[in-house]
């Protein structure tokens, strides 16, 4: 019996304005070595995080430093706001969403007071990761350099049986 696979492309928008960087530039081995997943990072120049996809909030950490979104296609995206920001215990973060909430592209998720926290953490670089890489056939980076929130950032091709 043959199994036929179809491919579907999912566009991930920039969740925050800033400078696009490779994961290898994030000063944290878990992200730089793609241990949690593959993707891209943004060095933010803005304080508002928006939903990069249509989907559901499947995880939001009590410290608000990271959240997970699952797309309608089953792609799992983790957005981690800065490096070692878990240590801030929520300081500088204001959430506008909760677990299991449906979100649309561009919905406001979290506001971050980078000015009050950037001197307390190693970096404010924000990794945007695909954590279920077993579903991914290919990731294309659509923009480099400066990017504005809600612009196309990644195209992810997923395999579906």
CB atoms within 10 A of CB 34: 16
Cβ contacts of residue 19 below 8 Å, gap of 6+? Answer: 42, 43, 45, 145, 146, 147
- Tell the burial category of 92 from Cβ atoms under 10 Å away from its Cβ (0-12, 13-18, 19+): buried
Q: Are 158 and 10 in contact (CB under 8 A)?
A: yes
CA angle 100, 61, 24 (to 5 degrees): 110
Distance CA 91, CA 93 (A): 6
| Residue 65 annotated to the active site | no
In 14-62, which residue ranges form alpha helices assigned H by DSSP?
29-32
By DSSP bridging, strand 145-147 and strand 18-21 are antiparallel
Among 7, 65, 80, 119, the one annotated catalytic? 80
Structure tokens at 82: 């800065």
Task: Write out the catalytic residue numbers.
Answer: 80
């Amino acid at each position: 019996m043959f199994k036929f696979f179809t491919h579907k492309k999912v566009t991930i928008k920039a969740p925050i304005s800033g400078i696009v960087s490779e994961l290898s530039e994030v000063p944290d081995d878990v992200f730089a070595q793609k241990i949690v997943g593959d993707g891209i990072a943004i060095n933010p120049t803005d304080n508002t995080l928006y939903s990069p996809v249509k989907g559901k909030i499947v995880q939001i950490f009590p410290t608000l430093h990271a959240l997970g979104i699952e797309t309608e296609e089953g792609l799992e995206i983790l957005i981690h706001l800065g490096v070692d920001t878990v240590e801030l215990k929520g300081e500088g973060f204001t959430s506008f969403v909760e677990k299991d909430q449906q979100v649309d592209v561009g919905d406001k998720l979290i506001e971050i007071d980078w000015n009050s926290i950037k001197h307390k953490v190693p970096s404010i670089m924000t990794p945007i990761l695909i954590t279920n890489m077993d579903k991914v056939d290919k990731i294309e980076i659509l923009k480099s350099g400066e990017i504005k929130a809600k612009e196309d950032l990644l195209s992810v091709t997923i395999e579906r049986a």
